[in-house]
Amino acid sequence: MAGCAHCGIALDIVGNQVGRRDTCPGCGKELRSCRNCRHFDERAPKQCKEPFAEVPSDKNSANFCDLYQLGEGGRSDKPAQDALLSAAEALFKKR
């Protein structure tokens, strides 16, 4: 299920039907932004996994990217990252 990358709320959107002016019902941020795209990756060059994208400098604002596809939200893997970090910290914790 799609989710907002800004607030994490689940979005009930069928397919990729996100207009440039659509906003999140939870936080009011624009949905058609890089951070809400499935190609967004902070570790990738230009923070986009799509090599042919013309990536805008503002990743939080709506844009006209033809390659935009609604993703699961930037927070979708946050619980997994937190669990891994906690496990790593537990390994090095002094007893």
The two tokens of residue 46 are: 């230009």
Q: 95: domain range?
A: 1-95
pTM comes to 0.71
Residue 35 in contact with residue 5, Cβ under 8 Å? yes
Q: What's the domain count of the chain?
A: 1
Report the pLDDT value the prediction gives residue 86, as an integer from 0 to 100.
Answer: 80
Give the pLDDT confidence score for residue 92 in this predicted structure. Answer: 83
Task: Write down the pLDDT at residue 76.
Answer: 44
Q: Is 80 exposed, middle or buried (0-12, 13-18, 19+ CB in 10 A)?
A: exposed
- Stretches where the chain sits below pLDDT 70 are 73-82, 94-95
Q: What is the pLDDT of residue 69?
A: 92
